Structure 1
Amino acid sequence: MVTVSASVVNRFSLQLTFVLFLSVVVVTLFTALLTAPQRDEISEFYLGNRNMSPLRNGLAMCGDYLSAATLLGSTGLVALTGYDGLLYLGGTAVAWMAVLLVVAEPLHNSGRFTLGDTLALRLPRRQRPVRLALAVCTLVITTLYLVAQLIGSVALLTQFVGEPSQAVRTLCVIAIGTIVVVYAALGGMPGATFIQVVKAVMLVSGVAIMAVLVLTRFHWNVNALLSAAARGSGLGQRFLESGLRYGAGTASKLDFFSLELAIVLGLAALPHVVMRLLAPRTNRVLRTSVVWAMGLVGFVCLAAGILGLGATAILGRENIAKIDPRGDATVLLLAQSLGGGLLTALISCLAFVTLLAVAAGLTLAAASSLAHDLYGEVIRKGQATQTEELGVARMAAAVIGVLGMLLALLPWEISTASLAFLAFAIAASAILPALVYSLFWRRFSAHGALLSLYGGLACSVLLVVFSPVLSGSPTSVYPHIDFAWFPLQNPGIVSIPAGFLLGWLGSVLRPQQEPAEYEEFQIRTLVGAAPRAARD
């Protein structure tokens, strides 16, 4: 990445960003410790205060989902590719519809603390192997996503100080990672929720202010904004048509479809999003919370599109590409142009807080799955005390945080977007088939669940290993060698159908021996009587 430190972020912005970020961290850490579980109850650590309003729940869901990639990467994508970038944002905005319409209420009614509880209720005779497979998938997904956030913190730091030395890079990753571990290990769900709500409010407010400034520059005339963006792109009308990134050929079109498929379907199976769906006390609160999350995410995506077009119109596409070919610096360049050093510092602080919030949710989800599913139910076979399980959860949060830091410090050149999109693809290919089949297919069996979980995970990872992400192109991790035979950067178009096919095949070859178990499970997914008593 080309640094923008010389042309965008001056010393004043750097110092102000540090002061603002440190202030937010101190306040949120102090509040997280105050709201942390005071009793050794796993329900409070996993689900927190379940009396929150739908708006607060919606803000927390929005904070859990939207990462710095939305603020930095998506804005840059629109600025550099125009229509194709806007099309990408559309998939991000509609992903919550699949959550609301398909899995939210049945999962809330049948779940307890983790997705493993839902699968165990559906497949009680083989629940331990299924919980183990689910814990493995959860650990892989959350670790990939966590590493993406930590690498993103280094990339953001690059915008201030240029290419950092190894010592500065290490210090940045350790500082961010340690703060994340404190949020998750000590604060639990209450602490993570607070930082996510703060982040969501800051993100919505920040993009709203910048979008208003952009629209004001063009007198609130959208046609004038589009025309100026077309002129600033140097491509004319082509900038407002498909083809700059995803429509150049059949492979790029398939790659875009594969990416959108993974984003739309993967959201419903991301472990930290699933945990958030279990937090509301009632279905009414859950529905309203998801609607709030849909609206907030949609607004942020709309604002990101306006910012991307505004950056092209005001700064010019070529100028942005010269400073940062990936476009990650677009929003900082635009902030400098619109509001000088003060606005640049505010947006920079917002980006760092966004990284913290998403990483905290991921760490908590991974720790909960390892403590509850792996340790509590597989290793201790349900005999662990609440105090014991809570201690394991906090220890697991620290271990996952250290693992994420070590992986983020490896000398590999891989984009944060590639890691994040792989996490979405694994969630959609491995966890989503098991979840959908469990909720809606009577003949689904434990063998089918194991095949879909392990098979979907293996298929996603193998396809990425033999794709242009790792080799065969100038932007690959290993650009000078070529062992890529899979032409797409995202495996979703192949791995997602493969996961569903494996789940179906395993269930057909070894069907469930007790179909009556599904009848009881189906009643619980509809009315939630038994799980509600267990949770409350």
Structure 2
Amino acid sequence: MVTLSAGVVDAASLRLTFVLFLSVVVITLFTALLTAPQRDEIGEFYLGNRSMSPLRNGLAMCGDYVSAATLLGSTGLVALTGYDGLMYLVGTTVAWMAVLLLIAEPLHRAGRFTLGDTVALRMPRQQRPVRLALALCTVVIAVLYLVAQLVGSVALLTQFTGEPGATTRTLCVVVIGTIVIMYASLGGMPGATVIQVIKAVMLVVGVTVTAALVLHRYGWNPNALLTAAADHSGESTRFLQPGLRYGGSAASKLDFFSLQLAIVLGLAALPHVLMRLLAPRSVGVLRSSVVWAVGLVGLICLGAGVLGLGATAVVGRDTIAGTDRTGNASVLLLAHSLGGGLLTALLSCLAFVTLLAVAAGLTLAAASSLAHDVYGELRRGRVSQAEELTVARLAAVVIGVLGMLLALVSWGANTATLAFLAFAIAASAILPTLVYTLFWRRFSARGALLSLGGGLLCSVLLVVFSPVVSSRPDSFYPHADFAWFPLQNPGLVSIPVGFLLGWLGTVLNPPEQQDRAAYQDFEVRMLVGAEE
């Protein structure tokens, strides 16, 4: 969490940012309302316009995938830690390759609206408890990540106003949260797609143009940029070598590996990202869309790396660390040095829109799971489409309000910690269940329940007893010490535990004969598909 005594940028930039952000919100809200589902059809609310081109689908996927943590946090990490920060960006890019190669096409062929539908096809007799467990994990992940976005909005506001008071914090969270609720509850997937596409275009253009300004400053010579970054880092060539952040000890190296594992596998299992994979009508469009998304995400991560190095080279590592120890201010400091108030306002507006877009996708994914997997299953199929649609809209309001309340309570929390915990839960609970469901013939409902519950519980418990919560100056409780787990991210332990529990539950409780037979039809659908 950023805590500054004074704002990073001036009042003129704040006013311009407000005008730009308000303009984008008004335009996207109006467009979202125009494209919102006009009929009581849950398919349109959950999946939106399924006839979109691969480019537009790819932009929407990119918008769902890339959060403000990439624009602000990852860039700041590069600016402060050099090589180690660049490796963090590599993990973000590689995660999309995991989606492309492993689960995108099988999930699309075997899914309908949510992950629960995939499980229902795979385990028709015992789908109910697994659907409910999946919904629980989905809501926990979505709320954690949503809180990270809302807390991040306060952190971004801090760059302008300095440390905000309680009223300012509340107003910021409530305004952003209310806009998110409107996108998700009124617009559904069509409304979320509008802001995702606009956000992705803005992100690609903004990052690319700013990176071009950085390279132009150094004669389009990457070596000159690297040399300048090393010279102004205070660490000389060590800035461009591994170990500045994660190389001090064996525990530090394990922590870095655990974080990368959670990022690569967790981002590939986030509910709103997986839900987006179900939207294209055909597998061919999905394949082209994911390729577009991989290219766009790679371009943004490459640009973020250039921005991080440029911030160190132009502004200086000591200045960035002195202004904001987390590095989140590095992009704005760089923008102010390169383009003054105008570029600063543009990138600030982009960061706010990025927060808004990701939060809308998360809220929609959680609301869809509650309406379709929980309410629909509890009613045992006796729910009309109009009724389920009403429940989905109300669930979006509930999730949004819950996120706002938790963000106000935990506003001092580190946004990266909340986001990484969400990644770890997704990789430890949802990913093992999804992989086993798609590719293991013998997988049973008991294995799914153990994998989901065990992965969720293990991730949360390890974080509670880690340095994130106690024993360090930047912990939630710095004066207490019950951190017997040495790593800040639990992925290195919780992900294998999730896979192990799924295997153990299946071995101890094999699937029933009817579920074994159902897998044959499921496998045919997964491999061949049933296009709509």
Q: Normalising to structure 1: TM-score of the pair?
A: 0.98
Structure 1 residue matching 2:201: 3-state secondary structure: helix
Q: Which residue number in structure 2 is paired with residue 516 of structure 1?
A: 517
In structure 1, what is the Cα distance between the partners aligned to 2:511 and 2:177?
Answer: 43
In structure 2, what is the Cα distance between the partners aligned to 1:391 and 1:57?
Answer: 26
In structure 2, what is the Cα distance between the partners aligned to 1:383 and 1:102?
Answer: 35
2:22 partner letter: L
Asked if residue 299 in structure 1 is aligned to residue 284 in structure 2, the reply is: no
Moved more, 445-454 or 405-414: 405-414
1:296-351 Cα shifts (integer Å, max 9, x gaps)? 11111100110111111111111111111110000000000000000000000000
Instruction: Report 1:136-535 matches (<5 A).
Output: 136-377=136-377, 379-411=378-410, 413-514=412-513, 515-529=516-530, 532=531
Moved more, 412-421 or 72-81: 412-421
Structure 2 residue matching 1:327: 3-state secondary structure: coil
In structure 2, what is the Cα distance between the partners aligned to 1:405 and 1:285?
Answer: 36
Deviation for aligned residue 1:3: 2.6
Deviation for aligned residue 1:500: 0.3
In structure 2, what is the Cα distance between the partners aligned to 1:360 and 1:5?
Answer: 30
In structure 1, what is the Cα distance between the partners aligned to 2:117 and 2:266?
Answer: 20
Deviation for aligned residue 1:516: 1.8
- Is the contact between residue 229 and residue 313 of structure 1 (CA under 8 Å) also seen in structure 2? yes
In structure 1, what is the Cα distance between the partners aligned to 2:517 and 2:461?
Answer: 38
1:388-440 Cα shifts (integer Å, max 9, x gaps)? 00000000000000000000000553211001011010001001111000110
Asked if residue 10 in structure 1 is aligned to residue 27 in structure 2, the reply is: no
2:416 partner letter: A
Could you list the structure 1 runs, at least 4 aligned residues long, displaced by more than 3 angstroms after superposition: none
In structure 1, what is the Cα distance between the partners aligned to 2:4 and 2:72?
Answer: 14
- Is the contact between residue 5 and residue 163 of structure 2 (CA under 8 Å) also seen in structure 1? no
- Is the contact between residue 367 and residue 395 of structure 2 (CA under 8 Å) also seen in structure 1? yes
Q: Which residue number in structure 1 is paired with residue 31 of structure 2?
A: 31
Unaligned runs of 5+ in 2: none
In structure 2, what is the Cα distance between the partners aligned to 1:263 and 1:9?
Answer: 31
In structure 2, what is the Cα distance between the partners aligned to 1:159 and 1:518?
Answer: 54
In structure 1, what is the Cα distance between the partners aligned to 2:14 and 2:288?
Answer: 39
In structure 2, what is the Cα distance between the partners aligned to 1:412 and 1:237?
Answer: 37
In structure 2, what is the Cα distance between the partners aligned to 1:411 and 1:21?
Answer: 25
1:397 partner letter: A
Deviation for aligned residue 1:364: 0.2
- Is the contact between residue 4 and residue 162 of structure 1 (CA under 8 Å) also seen in structure 2? yes
In structure 1, what is the Cα distance between the partners aligned to 2:444 and 2:326?
Answer: 45
In structure 2, what is the Cα distance between the partners aligned to 1:308 and 1:99?
Answer: 26
Structure 1 residue matching 2:526: 3-state secondary structure: helix
Q: Which residue number in structure 2 is paired with residue 97 of structure 1?
A: 97
- Is the contact between residue 54 and residue 285 of structure 1 (CA under 8 Å) also seen in structure 2? yes
Deviation for aligned residue 1:513: 1.6
In structure 2, what is the Cα distance between the partners aligned to 1:26 and 1:4?
Answer: 32
In structure 1, what is the Cα distance between the partners aligned to 2:228 and 2:267?
Answer: 35
- Is the contact between residue 442 and residue 510 of structure 2 (CA under 8 Å) also seen in structure 1? yes
1:164-187 Cα shifts (integer Å, max 9, x gaps)? 110110000000000000000000
Structure 1 residue matching 2:125: 3-state secondary structure: helix
Asked if residue 45 in structure 1 is aligned to residue 45 in structure 2, the reply is: yes
In structure 2, what is the Cα distance between the partners aligned to 1:269 and 1:474?
Answer: 32
Aligned length: 529
- Is the contact between residue 412 and residue 477 of structure 1 (CA under 8 Å) also seen in structure 2? no
Structure 2 residue matching 1:145: 3-state secondary structure: helix
1:525 partner letter: M
1:527 partner letter: V
Structure 2 residue matching 1:125: 3-state secondary structure: coil
In structure 2, what is the Cα distance between the partners aligned to 1:4 and 1:192?
Answer: 36
In structure 2, what is the Cα distance between the partners aligned to 1:399 and 1:2?
Answer: 30
In structure 1, what is the Cα distance between the partners aligned to 2:350 and 2:454?
Answer: 38
Structure 1 residue matching 2:232: 3-state secondary structure: helix
In structure 2, what is the Cα distance between the partners aligned to 1:500 and 1:152?
Answer: 32
Structure 2 residue matching 1:269: 3-state secondary structure: coil
In structure 2, what is the Cα distance between the partners aligned to 1:422 and 1:459?
Answer: 11
1:506-534 Cα shifts (integer Å, max 9, x gaps)? 000000122222111100100112xx3xx
Change (3 A) 1:222 1:4: farther
In structure 2, what is the Cα distance between the partners aligned to 1:209 and 1:392?
Answer: 43
- Is the contact between residue 6 and residue 163 of structure 2 (CA under 8 Å) also seen in structure 1? no
Deviation for aligned residue 1:2: 4.0
Asked if residue 59 in structure 1 is aligned to residue 59 in structure 2, the reply is: yes
In structure 2, what is the Cα distance between the partners aligned to 1:411 and 1:60?
Answer: 30
- Is the contact between residue 2 and residue 323 of structure 1 (CA under 8 Å) also seen in structure 2? no
In structure 1, what is the Cα distance between the partners aligned to 2:32 and 2:427?
Answer: 32
- Is the contact between residue 63 and residue 197 of structure 1 (CA under 8 Å) also seen in structure 2? yes
In structure 2, what is the Cα distance between the partners aligned to 1:235 and 1:449?
Answer: 48
Structure 2 residue matching 1:51: 3-state secondary structure: coil
In structure 2, what is the Cα distance between the partners aligned to 1:299 and 1:248?
Answer: 31
Structure 2 residue matching 1:233: 3-state secondary structure: coil
Q: Normalising to structure 2: TM-score of the pair?
A: 0.99
In structure 1, what is the Cα distance between the partners aligned to 2:26 and 2:465?
Answer: 44
In structure 2, what is the Cα distance between the partners aligned to 1:330 and 1:201?
Answer: 22
1:17-66 Cα shifts (integer Å, max 9, x gaps)? 00000000000000000000000000000001000000000000000011
1:123-152 Cα shifts (integer Å, max 9, x gaps)? 111100000000000000000000000000
1:175 partner letter: V
- Is the contact between residue 277 and residue 286 of structure 2 (CA under 8 Å) also seen in structure 1? yes
- Is the contact between residue 4 and residue 159 of structure 1 (CA under 8 Å) also seen in structure 2? no
Deviation for aligned residue 1:267: 2.0
Change (3 A) 1:411 1:508: closer
In structure 2, what is the Cα distance between the partners aligned to 1:19 and 1:362?
Answer: 26
Moved more, 121-130 or 508-517: 508-517
Structure 2 residue matching 1:93: 3-state secondary structure: helix
- Is the contact between residue 4 and residue 329 of structure 1 (CA under 8 Å) also seen in structure 2? no
- Is the contact between residue 228 and residue 313 of structure 1 (CA under 8 Å) also seen in structure 2? yes
Moved more, 404-413 or 366-375: 404-413
In structure 1, what is the Cα distance between the partners aligned to 2:275 and 2:131?
Answer: 15
- Is the contact between residue 33 and residue 191 of structure 1 (CA under 8 Å) also seen in structure 2? yes
